């Protein structure tokens, strides 16, 4: 395992996750209620403390692949799998690192900034972060 791979693992960013980033951002824009709707789904699934850690300024709590699938739903996961051209287990694994990162970057001061989501700006910011871990 390379130094960068181990660093990515320590940061919770699965290897190759940056390639999935544009697909995830596209799906989040289509998610019912946008990012706020996704946050509400986390809360309704009993995962409010996990998602609150991503919005807050402290350490991001981890999420499991099963939890990602439960929150996003099979339709969204299937769409991501089709668009990304990979298999479901790989997508779920990568999303466990990407979702916390995306939500964290959308709430830099502990406040979610969903209403002004600029996918291009977010993509650039996250690509810089994830490219360090390739």
Domains and CATH numbers, the chain: 3-131 (1.10.10.690)
- What pTM does this model have? 0.75
Q: What is the pLDDT of residue 2?
A: 37
Q: What is the pLDDT of residue 132?
A: 44
Q: What is the pLDDT of residue 105?
A: 82
The Cα–Cα gap between 37 and 91 comes to 21
Q: Please list the rounded mean pLDDT of every run of 10 residues in the chain (134 residues).
A: 37 61 86 88 95 90 96 96 94 93 83 60 56 45
Alpha carbon distances (Å) from 56 to 20, 24, 45, 66, 104: 24, 21, 19, 23, 8
Q: What is the pLDDT of residue 47?
A: 96
């Amino acid at each position: 395992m390379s130094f960068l791979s181990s660093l990515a693992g320590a940061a919770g960013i699965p290897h190759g996750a940056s390639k999935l980033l544009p697909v995830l951002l596209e799906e989040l824009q289509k998610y019912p209620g946008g990012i706020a709707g996704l946050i509400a789904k986390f809360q309704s699934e009993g995962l409010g403390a996990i998602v609150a850690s991503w919005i807050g300024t402290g350490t991001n709590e981890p999420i499991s692949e099963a939890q990602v699938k439960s929150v996003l739903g099979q339709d969204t996961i299937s769409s991501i799998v089709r668009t990304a051209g990979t298999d479901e287990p790989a997508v779920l694994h990568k999303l466990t690192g990407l979702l916390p990162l995306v939500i964290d970057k959308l709430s830099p001061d502990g406040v979610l900034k969903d209403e002004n989501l600029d996918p291009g700006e977010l993509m650039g910011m996250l690509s810089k972060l994830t490219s360090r871990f390739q």
